[in-house]
């Protein structure tokens, strides 16, 4: 009786081999290429995958309209990583070895970018990525990673601290409250801002780190409100970026200034949940629909044409993804090749224009010499650049008006 | 008698053939996409087998084994970081140390958790798992907290990279199977099965239930911890939610149930089916978001059609078929309609 | 001190919501001896149904319960009949797998229809508040709490004042004996599952107004709900309510006094501590038969 059992096991093994080996595609003819991306469509990070896909798709449409990437027509291939390390590792190996994609672009979040980057490095592929800027991305001795944002994550709030400290002594906030997720993306930013503001003489009246899985933010928000600090600096993702202001409104707590690391930069997804009470909330941003950066008008108008809505609906994640394509496009032209080794060495030199402004990369792939991160503020239902003055389309509203 | 010996020979040769296929797999199918799936499949064969030693034999359902998985992973990562071990083959030698540490932890947790039974035990194991996850997150000085922990990255190229990990997983899975098989044929194993059938009766007839349960729990957790270590080294970067992941804990349980609770080949079969299916479905249908629905549908179908798992259901089927056509065909049961 | 008091009040208010969600789960366990791992997904499903209903009909989220509770009640009965009832052997363990598969299926379908973006139910009063002493209480929490109390009260009335409730309680006490005295245990089970779903719908509304959620939110929910019903004692409604309050109050106070990162940890310590002294949970009856 055991014989059949073993036969079944063998059959299962065979099935498994068929499942793995069956989908091998013959090498494609030279001209069209596929670019592979693993995005989180299910699981913890799934909320952020959509904007990334929109940005990449729009770039692919643009590049094909002008004749392709160095003449190669581009197709994007997206696979789901279910927000798990195991799947992201699997996906990039499959994209590279089974689908034989010509290039790969990065996923969402540092947490997935890190395991993915070592896999991609193994095959000597370039890994331009829009969302993985945590410290561990750059300390692994990899030379193929390129983080396409204006500054490494920990420096995101630096220009905000400069702005606060540039205020006349009488107006400057006397105290600040800090709360942040223990996420590698948010916490370093808030910690750096705290040390800079403390050095500038702004008293810390509250500081709390909370777990990234927290779903009920009210107790922490209450504690922040209770501190009655003049400035509130929050290390958030979208759900808490909405929850904190809501609680502040409920508590009638009106700080002079509020900045949140992520959330307010996500257009209508953010404002839809807060209504008029977005007014005055700031966010560090490398991108805004109004910026006069390279190709930005085109990006905005095409985005609206393709996905509908208004410029306020566009998420910065989409702009970052689009920038990845721009950088690769310029590098390919410069190297006169889409070969990964050539792209890698080219990307380490020179400066590249993106809708987030010009940027270049150091040996570890960290963006350097860029313009840094701007400050965006919601004013009358729109997020606009307010600092530094060179790019600002309006002066910062300070102190922030009372909630409605 | 002769028939029995023949069946036995067949079984042994079947196992030898299977093992040979497993050994030669990287040579037969060296492309990284296959070896990668093979690494994870072998990993789950090991995990499901290890879980079965506790859950299958004693009937104590632990949904918290992911805690041991993560603990082993973190232990290996921290050992490598603090001892300054370079990437390459050496880190594999430290895997047993990670197992040892996990054993100590499992002894402590088991001592507490096994005071409860049934559903309460299930939840206590979940609670312990979340406590471990929270510790990994909150003891930032030790574990790096939410920033995660990096493993050294071996300099191997993409075509070879997966192979050493595959053999490490294969070795651990084989070890697990050998232990599982040995236990099943021992007095200790009989004691465990007695606990599953009726713990109070087992105690009454003199089975040292507490010591037996604890031993099975520790053995099971140790294997899981070692596998967790290899996993961390394979993905090269761990983070509390990635390794103390409830889904990993639930996956191994599902595989055992799918294959057949308390059998030796069941967990292997369950892992062989579910893990490649999941990786493949997510890769090919994930973008449409319907892969979860498909996975759930397959799952529901199997449970409702084969409620006792594949192996016991097949065995039953084969036995029924034999009863009709086998040597006992002359028996009056012939009249039974198919 | 104000902060601690504030946290305690908030803990009680949100605890009421968890009490409602957990009461459905514990009722299902009591009647059927199964752990419904899909309960979190059903709460999320309830939240999405209310979201869709309030958006398309332009009505207040709480009003959508008039639609969603009956719908979820019927859905619950269907799910019980199609997926739970066929399990004959080893049903306690298999039901965990079946309900987990249901949770995955629901998550997949919700992701397909609503995308994985975070959403939140909206009402005009979700940022309105009134002052009590030195702090302010938000209406939406009070409304949610009141709703939960009302539904729990109805549930207790049904259980303790009607004949059908008596048969539910009899089934909870002893399934086999209930069968022997002529109670249609299958019917009781289906209805109990339906009631559990209806409470999940109600819990979903309050959850959806106070928290941003997406299809994946059920993992977090179910792990909290399971720990609540075990702390309270499996199958005990009173236990579920008390345990929910203990959980939320202890978490909120820890968050304020120590740090939010230890909030869950403290609860798990309480849980493990209680179970070591009373393995059957706070209000549980020592059950001899195993799961």
pLDDT in tens, B270-281: 899 888 888 887
Among candidates C127, C129, C211 on the partner chain, residue whose Cβ is nearest the Cβ of A215: C211
A115-124, pLDDT tens digit by residue? 899 899 989 9
Candidates C46, A227, C30; CA nearest to C38 is C46
Residue-level pLDDT at B334: 37
- Which residues of chain A lie closer than 8 angstroms to B29, CB-CB? 17, 20-21
Residue B218 has pLDDT above 60, yes or no: yes
Among candidates B124, B297, B300 on the partner chain, residue whose Cβ is nearest the Cβ of C98: B300
| Mean pLDDT score, B38-61 | 93
Residue-level pLDDT at B331: 43
Interface contacts (A, C; CB < 8 Å): 102
A135-190, pLDDT tens digit by residue? 788 888 888 999 988 877 778 888 899 899 999 988 899 999 999 988 777 888 89
Check if B248 contacts C (Cβ < 8 Å).
no
- Which residues of chain C lie closer than 8 angstroms to B48, CB-CB? none
Residue-level pLDDT at A275: 81
| Mean pLDDT score, A335-350 | 90
User: Considering only alpha carbons, which residue of chain A is nearest residue C120?
Assistant: A273
CA distance A318 to A338: 23
For chain C, the C-alpha Rg in angstroms (whole number) is 19
Q: Which domains does chain C have, with CATH numbers?
A: 2-277 (1.10.3470)
Among candidates C111, C127, C260 on the partner chain, residue whose Cβ is nearest the Cβ of A208: C260
- Which residues of chain B lie closer than 8 angstroms to C98, CB-CB? 300, 303-304
The alpha helices in chain B, defined as continuous H runs, are 2-28, 32-58, 65-83, 90-93, 95-113, 118-138, 140-143, 158-184, 187-197, 199-204, 209-235, 240-243, 246-259, 265-285, 291-305, 310-325
C99-123, pLDDT tens digit by residue? 888 998 998 899 888 877 788 888 8
Inter-chain CB proximity A222 and C7 less than 8 Å: yes
Among candidates A215, A247, A403 on the partner chain, residue whose Cβ is nearest the Cβ of C220: A215
CA distance C189 to C175: 10
| Mean pLDDT score, C75-86 | 91
Inter-chain CB proximity B134 and C264 less than 8 Å: yes
Nearest-CA distance from B312 to chain C in Å?
Answer: 13
Reported as a pLDDT band with limits 50, 70 and 90, residue B327 is: low
| Mean pLDDT score, C33-45 | 91
Inter-chain CB proximity B290 and C108 less than 8 Å: yes
Candidates A206, A72, C222, C169; CA nearest to B122 is C222
- Which residues of chain C lie closer than 8 angstroms to A247, CB-CB? 138
The alpha helices in B59-115, defined as continuous H runs, are 65-83, 90-93, 95-113
Residue A282 has pLDDT above 50, yes or no: yes
Residue A13 has pLDDT above 50, yes or no: no
> Which CATH class name applies to A155-286+373-387?
alpha beta
Number of neighbouring beta carbons within 10 Å of residue B283: 25
CA distance A365 to A152: 10
Check if C78 contacts B (Cβ < 8 Å).
no
B177-187, pLDDT tens digit by residue? 999 999 999 99
| Mean pLDDT score, A278-285 | 90
Residue-level pLDDT at C182: 86
- Which residues of chain A lie closer than 8 angstroms to C216, CB-CB? 42-44, 46, 83
Reported as a pLDDT band with limits 50, 70 and 90, residue B172 is: very high
Average pLDDT, chain B: 86
Among candidates C101, C230, C261 on the partner chain, residue whose Cβ is nearest the Cβ of B123: C230
Nearest-CA distance from B239 to chain A in Å?
Answer: 8
Residue-level pLDDT at A244: 93
Residue B241 has pLDDT above 60, yes or no: yes
B288-308, pLDDT tens digit by residue? 567 778 878 877 887 788 777
Neighbours of chain B (3+ CB pairs under 8 A): A, C
Region of poorest pLDDT, from A8-12, C52-56, C88-92, C279-283: A8-12
- CB contact at 8 A, B307 and B261: no
- Largest Cα–Cα separation, chain C: 59
Q: Considering only residues A370 and B331, tell me which one the structure prediction assigns the higher pLDDT.
A: A370
Residue B146 has pLDDT above 80, yes or no: no
- Which residues of chain A lie closer than 8 angstroms to C214, CB-CB? 46-47
Residue-level pLDDT at A24: 38
Residue-level pLDDT at A369: 59
Report the complex ipTM.
0.80
Inter-chain CB proximity B293 and C109 less than 8 Å: yes
Residue-level pLDDT at A204: 93
**Which residue of A179, A212, A215 is the best one to mutate when testing the C interface, meaning the one whose CB has the most C CBs within 10 A?**
A215
CA distance C287 to C274: 16
- CB contact at 8 A, B233 and B91: yes
- CB contact at 8 A, C35 and C99: yes
What percentage of chain B carries pLDDT values higher than 90?
A: 36
The alpha helices in C33-123, defined as continuous H runs, are 39-57, 65-79, 91-114
Reported as a pLDDT band with limits 50, 70 and 90, residue A370 is: low
Inter-chain CB proximity C256 and A218 less than 8 Å: no
Region of poorest pLDDT, from A110-119, A362-371, B1-10, B23-32: B1-10
Indicate the domain borders of chain A. 31-153+287-372, 155-286+373-387
Distance between first and last Cα of chain B: 28
Inter-chain CB proximity C7 and A219 less than 8 Å: yes
Inter-chain CB proximity A16 and B145 less than 8 Å: no
Inter-chain CB proximity B11 and A2 less than 8 Å: yes
Q: Cα dist. A363→A338, A360, B147 in Å?
A: 20, 10, 22
Residue B28 has pLDDT above 70, yes or no: yes
Q: Quick one: B330 exposed, middle or buried, by C-beta within 10 A (0-12, 13-18, 19+)? A: exposed
Reported as a pLDDT band with limits 50, 70 and 90, residue B257 is: confident
Instruction: List, as ranges, residues 58-77 from B with C-beta within 8 Å of C.
Output: 59, 61
Residue keyed to tokens 């081999």: A17
Nearest-CA distance from A367 to chain B in Å?
Answer: 20
**Which residue of B109, B121, B123 is the best one to mutate when testing the C interface, meaning the one whose CB has the most C CBs within 10 A?**
B123
Residue keyed to tokens 């993915």: A116
What percentage of chain B carries pLDDT values higher than 70?
A: 94
- Which residues of chain B lie closer than 8 angstroms to C102, CB-CB? 296, 300
Inter-chain CB proximity B276 and A19 less than 8 Å: yes
Whole-prediction pTM? 0.82
- What sign results for the dihedral spanned by CA atoms B149, B152, B155, B160? negative
Candidates C207, C213, C216, C218; CA nearest to C42 is C218
- Which residues of chain A lie closer than 8 angstroms to C144, CB-CB? none
Reported as a pLDDT band with limits 50, 70 and 90, residue C264 is: confident
Instruction: List, as ranges, residues 116-145 from C with C-beta within 8 Å of B.
Output: 116
Inter-chain CB proximity B257 and C97 less than 8 Å: yes
| Mean pLDDT score, A304-326 | 87
Nearest-CA distance from B18 to chain A in Å?
Answer: 7
Residue-level pLDDT at A285: 82
Among candidates B7, B31, B285 on the partner chain, residue whose Cβ is nearest the Cβ of A2: B7
Residue-level pLDDT at A2: 41
Q: Cα dist. A44→B328, C72, C205 in Å?
A: 57, 26, 22
Q: Considering only residues C204 and A48, tell me which one the structure prediction assigns the higher pLDDT.
A: C204
**Which residue of B33, B39, B322 is the best one to mutate when testing the A interface, meaning the one whose CB has the most A CBs within 10 A?**
B33
Inter-chain CB proximity A273 and C212 less than 8 Å: yes
User: Considering only alpha carbons, which residue of chain A is nearest residue C9?
Assistant: A219
CATH topology of domain A31-153+287-372: Rossmann fold (3.40.50)
Inter-chain CB proximity A136 and B34 less than 8 Å: no
| Mean pLDDT score, B52-70 | 91
Residue-level pLDDT at B4: 65
């Amino acid at each position: 009786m055991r014989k059949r059992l073993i036969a079944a096991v063998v059959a299962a093994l065979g099935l498994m081999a068929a499942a793995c080996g069956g989908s091998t595609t013959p090498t494609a003819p030279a001209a069209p290429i596929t670019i592979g991306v693993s995005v989180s469509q299910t699981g913890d990070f799934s909320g952020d995958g959509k904007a990334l896909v929109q940005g990449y798709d729009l770039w692919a449409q643009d590049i094909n309209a002008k004749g392709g990437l160095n003449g190669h027509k581009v197709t994007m291939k997206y696979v789901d990583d279910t927000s798990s390390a195991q799947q992201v590792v699997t996906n990039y190996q499959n994209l590279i070895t089974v689908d034989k994609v010509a290039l790969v672009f990065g996923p969402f979040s540092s947490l997935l970018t890190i395991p993915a980057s070592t896999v991609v490095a193994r095959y000597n592929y370039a890994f331009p990525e829009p969302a993985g800027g945590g410290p561990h991305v750059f300390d692994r001795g990899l030379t193929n990673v390129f983080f396409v944002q204006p500054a490494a994550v920990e420096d995101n709030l630096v220009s905000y601290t400069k702005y606060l400290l540039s205020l006349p002594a009488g107006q400057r906030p006397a105290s600040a409250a800090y709360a942040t997720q223990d996420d590698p993306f948010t916490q370093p930013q808030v910690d750096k801002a705290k040390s800079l503001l403390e050095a500038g003489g702004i008293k810390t009246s509250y500081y709390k780190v909370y777990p990234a899985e927290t779903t009920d933010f009210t107790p922490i928000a209450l504690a922040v409100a209770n501190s009655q600090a003049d400035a509130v600096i929050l290390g958030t993702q979208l759900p808490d970026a909405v929850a904190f202001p809501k609680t502040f409104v409920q508590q009638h707590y009106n700080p002079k200034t509020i900045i949140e690391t992520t959330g307010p930069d996500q257009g209508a997804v953010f404002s839809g949940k807060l209504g008029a009470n977005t007014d005055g909330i700031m966010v560090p941003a490398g991108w805004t629909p109004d910026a006069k950066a390279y190709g930005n008008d085109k990006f905005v108008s095409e985005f609206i044409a393709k996905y509908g809505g208004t410029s306020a609906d566009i998420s910065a994640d989409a702009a970052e993804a689009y920038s990845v394509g721009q950088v690769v496009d310029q590098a390919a032209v410069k190297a006169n090749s889409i070969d990964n080794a050539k792209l890698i060495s080219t990307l380490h030199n020179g400066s590249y224009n993106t809708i987030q402004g010009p940027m270049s990369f150091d040996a570890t792939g960290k963006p350097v010499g860029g313009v840094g991160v701007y400050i965006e503020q919601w004013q009358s239902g729109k997020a606009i650049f307010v600092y530094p003055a060179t790019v600002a389309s309006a002066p910062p509203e300070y102190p922030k008006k009372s909630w409605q | 008698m002769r028939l029995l010996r023949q069946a036995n020979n067949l079984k042994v040769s079947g196992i030898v053939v299977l093992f040979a296929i497993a050994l030669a797999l990287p040579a037969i199918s060296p492309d990284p996409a296959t070896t990668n799936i093979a690494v994870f499949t072998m990993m789950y064969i090991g995990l499901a087998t290890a879980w079965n030693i506790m859950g299958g034999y004693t009937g104590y359902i632990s949904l918290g084994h992911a805690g041991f998985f993560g603990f082993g992973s973190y232990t290996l990562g921290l050992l490598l970081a603090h001892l300054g071990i370079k990437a390459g083959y050496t880190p594999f030698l430290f895997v047993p140390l990670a197992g040892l540490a996990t054993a100590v932890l499992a002894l402590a947790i088991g001592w507490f958790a096994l005071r409860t039974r049934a559903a309460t035990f299930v939840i206590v194991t979940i609670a312990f798992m979340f406590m471990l996850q929270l510790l990994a997150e909150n003891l930032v000085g030790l574990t790096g907290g939410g920033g995660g922990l990096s493993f050294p990255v071996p300099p191997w190229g993409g075509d070879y990279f997966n192979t050493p990990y595959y053999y490490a997983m294969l070795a651990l899975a084989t070890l697990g199977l050998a232990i599982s098989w040995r236990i099943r044929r021992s007095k200790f194993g009989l004691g465990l099965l007695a606990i599953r059938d009726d713990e109070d009766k087992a105690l009454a007839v003199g089975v040292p239930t507490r010591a037996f349960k604890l031993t099975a729990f520790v053995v099971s957790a140790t294997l899981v911890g070692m596998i967790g270590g290899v996993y961390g080294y394979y993905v090269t970067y761990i983070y509390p939610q990635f390794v103390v992941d409830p889904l990993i804990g639930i996956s191994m349980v599902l595989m055992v149930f799918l294959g057949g609770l308390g059998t030796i080949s069941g967990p292997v079969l369950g892992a062989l089916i579910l893990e490649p299916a999941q990786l493949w479905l997510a890769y090919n249908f994930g973008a449409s978001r319907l892969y979860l629905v498909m996975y759930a549908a397959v799952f529901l179908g199997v449970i409702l059609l084969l409620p006792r798992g594949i192996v016991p259901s097949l065995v039953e089927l084969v036995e029924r078929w034999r009863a009709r056509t086998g040597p006992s065909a002359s028996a009056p049961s012939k009249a039974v309609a198919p | 001190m104000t902060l601690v008091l504030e946290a305690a009040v908030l803990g009680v208010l949100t605890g009421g919501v968890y009490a409602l969600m957990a009461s459905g789960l514990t009722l299902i366990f009591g009647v059927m001896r199964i752990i419904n791992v899909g309960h979190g997904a059903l709460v999320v499903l309830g939240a999405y149904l209310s979201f869709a209903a309030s958006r398309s009909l332009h009505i207040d989220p709480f009003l959508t319960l008039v639609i969603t509770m009956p719908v979820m009640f019927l859905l619950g009965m269907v799910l019980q009949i199609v997926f739970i009832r066929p399990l004959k052997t080893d049903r306690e363990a298999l039901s965990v797998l079946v309900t987990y598969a249901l949770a995955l299926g629901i998550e997949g379908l919700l992701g397909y229809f609503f995308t994985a973006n975070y959403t939140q139910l909206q009402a005009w009063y979700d940022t309105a508040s009134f002052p009590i002493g030195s702090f302010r209480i938000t209406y939406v929490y009070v409304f949610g709490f009141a709703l939960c109390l009302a539904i729990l009260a109805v549930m207790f009335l049904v259980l303790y004042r009607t004949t059908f409730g008596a048969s539910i309680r009899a089934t909870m006490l002893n399934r086999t004996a209930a069968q022997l005295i002529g109670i249609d245990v299958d019917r009781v089970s289906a209805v109990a599952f339906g009631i559990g779903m209806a409470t999940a719908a109600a819990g979903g509304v309050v959850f959806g107004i106070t928290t941003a959620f997406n299809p994946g939110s059920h993992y977090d929910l179910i792990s909290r709900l399971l720990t609540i019903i075990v702390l309270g004692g499996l199958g005990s409604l009173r236990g579920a309510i008390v345990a929910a309050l203990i959980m939320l109050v202890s978490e909120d106070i820890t968050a304020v006094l120590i740090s939010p990162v230890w909030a869950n940890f403290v609860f798990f310590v309480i849980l493990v501590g209680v179970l070591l002294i009373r393995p059957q949970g706070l209000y549980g009856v020592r059950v001899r038969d195993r799961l």
